[in-house]
Amino acid sequence: MTEYKYVRCLFCTTGKEQAVAKAIEAAGRGRALFPQRTKRILKNHVWEEQPCALLPGYVFVYSDEEQPDYKGFGGAQHILRTLMYGSDGSTALIGRDREFADWLWRLNGHVGVLKALQVGDRIEIVDGVFKQLRGTITKMDRRRKTVRVDLDTEGLLRHIWLAYEIVDRVEEDTLQPDAKDSPSGLEQSS
């Protein structure tokens, strides 16, 4: 399935993801991808699709190098650091991070159009103290970019207003009782 042994995640200057990816490949340091999504924008009264960074500042490098060096070539000045795990300094992605990177490889870095949230959508909270709680969007405030979520809980907190960025749509077939116990999202260690 893969044409590489190791995957690393570089944190670079936001907006310079493409320059860093091209520089890594030109220097022969591996295949570099930065996650992109397609964003629809209104330009001259016509909707156009434009690529934009899904995770601004992140570049994934796929290679066979065990101890790569990302210094001393054009574009390297935009690399701020290589993300690492724990105190041992391991930089090769593992676990869910590696799964995400493999998925990104299969898509050649292009995630496509992300669907907008709507009233009635089933969501899961993906950040903050309420992480992994689920519910249904009942109202939206597009000006403030927030949604009101009726939670699937029986406690005192039955609904909450949240920013778009901390909720993610879930499909009905993934709403299994044990799904709330599994971790979600890309782990980020530094």
Cβ partners under 8 Å of residue 177, min gap 6? none
Predicted pLDDT at 163:
80
Task: Report pLDDT for 189.
Answer: 39
Q: Looking at the predicted structure, is the pLDDT value of residue 184 above 70?
A: no
Answer yes or no: pTM beyond 0.75: no
Contact between 35 and 51 under an 8 Å Cβ cutoff? The reply is no
Give pLDDT tens digits for 82-141.
998 877 888 999 988 998 899 899 989 987 765 678 888 898 888 777 777 889 999 988
Note the pLDDT tens digit of each residue in 43-70: 888 877 888 888 899 999 999 998 888 8
Please answer whether residues 151 and 159 qualify as being in contact, where contact means their C-beta atoms are separated by less than 8 angstroms: yes
**Top-confidence residue, 165 or 90:** 90
Give the number of other Cβ atoms within 10 Å of residue 88's Cβ. 7
Distance set, CA 131 to CA 13, 111, 142, 179 (Å):
28, 24, 22, 13
Does residue 180 or residue 84 have the better pLDDT? 84
